[in-house]
Amino acid sequence: MKIVSNQKKINRNYKIGLYTSLASLAFLVGAVILTFYGLTRPEVTSYSFIAMIVGLILSQVGVYFANRWGKSPRVDERLSQGLKGLDERYTLYHYSTPVPHLLVGPAGIWVINPQYQSGVVTYEKNRFRQKGVGFFSKVVGQEGLGRPDLEANAYQEDFQKFLQKSLPENSQPTVRSMIVFTSPKATIQAQDAPIPTMHVEKMKDFVRRKHKEEPANL
């Protein structure tokens, strides 16, 4: 399998995440110090509150960047490892196409929407749900699960529109999407999800199965 990565973007966003996390720590420490000052100087209490809010916002920004471009193994490295062993007809693109992660090969064109959350992930009552994760981890330690299905659909539509502008109308391939959880601590129980949803360790088998069931002519 060939891998195409935008290393310049990866390095830049890693630095943004690092500096944002350091700034968030500085604001939170400052908020604590101002809180102690506020015991004898009430006029600084409002500043400690502002510093706390700014620190929490920056921490969430830092988590966003760390999840995607933080320390190794990064999400792109986990996806590459999960698909390791596919033959040379496949190409995996990281941050080098209109969507962040894209797999092209005999199984078709697949937009990959990676998720970083841990715990037990289920699909119930038309929503993804996350269980087995503490409140503090949800608030500070990782991003909320949100709606990965809507996000995957948006990526899929974006890339389909890109192909419509780039290729003749009679040469439009089908673009599909998958949701992939990369955390070693994630357990996926989402068989009823409208979009194929799996752990990164199951990706390669899924792609090979799709090739056998629906071989693509690219």
Contact call for residues 203 and 82 (beta carbons, < 8 A): yes
- The number of distinct structural domains making up the chain is 2
User: End of a domain among 69, 87, 105?
Assistant: 69
- How far are the Cα atoms of 48, 143, 185 from residue 19, in angstroms, in the given order? 21, 19, 27
Q: What is the chain's mean pLDDT, rounded?
A: 91
218 located within any domain: no
The SS3 of residue 189 is strand
Is residue 93 domain-shared with residue 65, that is, in the same domain? no
CA-based radius of gyration for the chain: 21
Percent of the chain whose pLDDT exceeds 90: 72
6 located within any domain: yes
Residue with tokens 């062993």: 85
Which range (26-35, 46-55, 122-131, 134-143) has the least confidence? 134-143
* Spatial distance between the Cα atoms of 112 and 209, rounded to a whole number of angstroms: 16
At 56, list the tokens: 């929490």
- How far are the Cα atoms of 25, 148, 176, 186, 213 from residue 108, in angstroms, in the given order? 44, 21, 8, 27, 11
pLDDT in tens, 72-88: 899 999 999 999 999 99
Contacts of 32 (CB under 8 A, 6+ apart): 48
Domain containing residue 196: 75-213
pLDDT of residue 140: 53
Task: Tally helices (H) and strands (E) across the chain.
Answer: 6, 9
User: End of a domain among 19, 44, 69?
Assistant: 69
pLDDT of residue 76: 96
pTM, to two decimals: 0.84
pLDDT in tens, 109-163: 999 999 999 999 999 999 999 987 655 455 555 567 889 999 999 999 999 999 9
183 located within any domain: yes
Contact call for residues 129 and 145 (beta carbons, < 8 A): yes
User: End of a domain among 69, 99, 118?
Assistant: 69
Residue 87: left (phi > 0), alpha (psi -120 to 50), or beta? beta
119 located within any domain: yes
Name which of 109, 132, 113 is nearest 189 in CA terms.
Answer: 132
Is residue 22 domain-shared with residue 54, that is, in the same domain? yes
